[in-house]
Amino acid sequence: MLRSFFIYLSKLRWLRDLILKLGFTRKASRRFVAGESAEEVIEVIRQLNGQNILATCDHLGEDVSTEADARDARDHYLQILDLIQKSGVKSHVSLKLTQFGLDVSGELCRELVSSVIEKAAQLGTFVRIDMEDSPHTERTLAVYRDMRKEYSNCGIVIQASLYRTADDIKGLVDDGIANVRLCKGAYQESSTIAFPHKADVDANMVKLMQYLITAPGAYLAMATHDEKMIDATKRWVAQYNLSKDSFEFQMLYGIRRDLQQQLAAEGYRMRVYVPYGTEWYPYYMRRLAERPANLWFVLSNFFKP
Ligand code: FDA
């Protein structure tokens, strides 16, 4: 119930505009958001790198409705790639296609995303395409497939919650383009297309992890804070004698820092998704949806001087 409510709120533009104006919410956003500027995110990534943790940074923004906004997003990503290079921090970038104009024009989106991937290729780095809600699934996969015709330095995100996912992953593996961040899925979806029960999502995630981690030519980024999923991955890796750096774990900035540090110390490749920017509202609401108890953190900030 609460999950659906927060996902519903995440889509309300008027509420977003209101919340972004309130000073205390900005302070509370720091729980999951590294800062507003590119310089701030580089500093956070430097600290993570100091703990042997890699990063992928995301300049927050989604659902843009004009070409100008989409072009701005592209320009920002080109700048952050330069900054990553100059600062020497170890970080990829992650982006959302609706921030790059997917809902404005598929052609525009392809043009802008390919210029970011092209630049990343020149700098020897990598671009991960996030997965958004189901009206975008097919189009996101199509853009990814097109990008892979030209570039190998990009990957996609796939959600274990969707029924279609096993087929999607098999298709990517068969085509030799399965560089996949596997996550549970952060959006509210109908039971006609997604598993309604968490236990089924979890079971699917384990099954897909087992398949992907040994599939020929595939690379798995296991994106979860769920200790059951992490333990299942570790067991599978040990059982098949796979090396600890043949895949990676990924977690979100600000969530289970203890576990992030523990996995890095155990020698696993650990990457943290570090969002930054002023457009944090929908991202933040999805984090509340995943764990409504996070709301207490927001409210406690309200009463702090
Ligand atoms: P689960 O929800 O079962 O949580 C397990 C435990 O993790 C909880 O008991 C709690 O301890 C902790 N936890 C989880 N969420 C928390 C939160 N918000 N606050 C505090 N603690 C929390 N989704 C998507 O649809 N598209 C995408 O592109 C991405 N990208 C992405 C990148 C990375 C690096 C990660 C880690 C996740 C995503 N996601 C995503 C989000 C993902 O789909 C999922 O919603 C969250 O990771 C929560 O699911 P868990 O696997 O952590 O398990």
pLDDT tens figures, 170-207? 999 999 999 999 999 999 999 999 999 999 999 999 99
Q: What is the mean pLDDT of residues 44-49?
A: 98
Neighbours of 123 (CB within 10 A): 13
Q: Is residue 42 part of a domain?
A: yes
- Tell whether 14 is covered by a domain: no
pLDDT value for 130? 98
Rounded CA gap, 247 and 209, in Å?
Answer: 10
Q: How confident is the model at residue 11 (pLDDT cuts 50, 70, 90)?
A: confident
Cα torsion for 156, 42, 265, 222, to the nearest 10°? -10
Pocket residues: Cβ below 6 A from ligand 1: 130-131, 157, 159, 181, 183-187, 223-226, 250-252, 255-256, 273, 287, 290-291, 294
Assess whether pLDDT exceeds 70 at residue 135.
Answer: yes
- What was the pLDDT predicted at 50? 98
pLDDT for position 140 = 98
Residues 74/115, Cβ–Cβ less than 8 Å: yes
**Main-chain phi, psi angles of 244, to 5 degrees:** -70, -15
Q: Would you say residue 288 lies in a domain?
A: no
Give the residue whose CA is nearest to atom 50 of ligand 1.
Answer: 224
Q: What's the CA-to-centroid distance between 110 and ligand 1, angstroms?
A: 28
Q: Is residue 24 part of a domain?
A: no
Computed over every residue of the chain, the mean pLDDT equals 93
Asked whether residue 8 is assigned to any structural domain, the reply reads no
Tell me, yes or no, whether 107 lies in a domain: yes
Residues 63 and 72 sit within 8 Å (Cβ to Cβ):
no
Residues 200 and 160: their CA atoms lie apart, in Å, by 9
Q: Is the pLDDT of residue 20 over 80?
A: no
CA distance 139 to 106: 8
Q: Could you tell me which residue, 293 or 37, shows the higher pLDDT?
A: 37
With the most atoms of ligand 1 within 8 angstroms of its CB, the residue from 189, 226, 248 to mutate is 226
pLDDT, residue 301, reads 59
Q: Which sign does the torsion angle of CA 55, 59, 60, 61 carry?
A: negative
CA distance 256 to 273: 12
Quote the pLDDT of residue 276.
Answer: 95
Which residue has its alpha carbon closest to ligand 1 atom 36?
251
Candidate list 103, 130, 168, 202, residue with the active-site label:
130
- Is 271 in the active site? no
pLDDT tops 60 at residue 302? no
Would residue 130 show up in a list of annotated catalytic residues for this protein? yes
What pTM, to 2 d.p., does this model score?
0.94
Q: Does the structure show a pLDDT above 80 at 28?
A: no
Candidate from 225, 229, 295 with most ligand 1 atoms within 8 A of CB, to mutate: 225
Average pLDDT over residues 23-39: 83
Give the pLDDT score at 4. Answer: 84
Dist CA 267 CA 249 (whole Å): 11
Q: For the chain, what is the domain count? A: 1
Predicted confidence band of residue 31 (pLDDT cuts 50, 70, 90) = confident
| CATH number of the domain enclosing 109 | 3.20.20.220
The range of the structural domain enclosing residue 108 comes to 33-279
> Which atom of ligand 1 is nearest to 184's Cα?
43
Rounded Cα distance, 106 and 129, in Å: 15
Residue 50 phi, psi (nearest 5): -65, -20
Is a pLDDT exceeding 60 seen at residue 82?
yes
**Residue of 183, 197, 287 to mutate, ligand 1, most atoms within 8 A of C-beta:** 183
Residue from 128, 181, 269, 286 carrying the catalytic annotation: 181
Measured in angstroms, how far is the CA atom of residue 143 from the centroid of ligand 1? 24
Q: Is 96 helix (H, G, I), strand (E, B) or coil?
A: coil
Q: Tell me the CB-side half-sphere exposure of residue 225, using CA atoms within 13 A.
A: 18
In this structure, is residue 155 part of a structural domain?
yes
pLDDT above 90: residue 127: yes
Report pLDDT digits (tens) over 105-115: 999 999 999 99
pLDDT for res 24: 67
Q: Is residue 21 part of a domain?
A: no
How many Å apart are CA 19 and CA 15, to the nearest integer?
A: 6
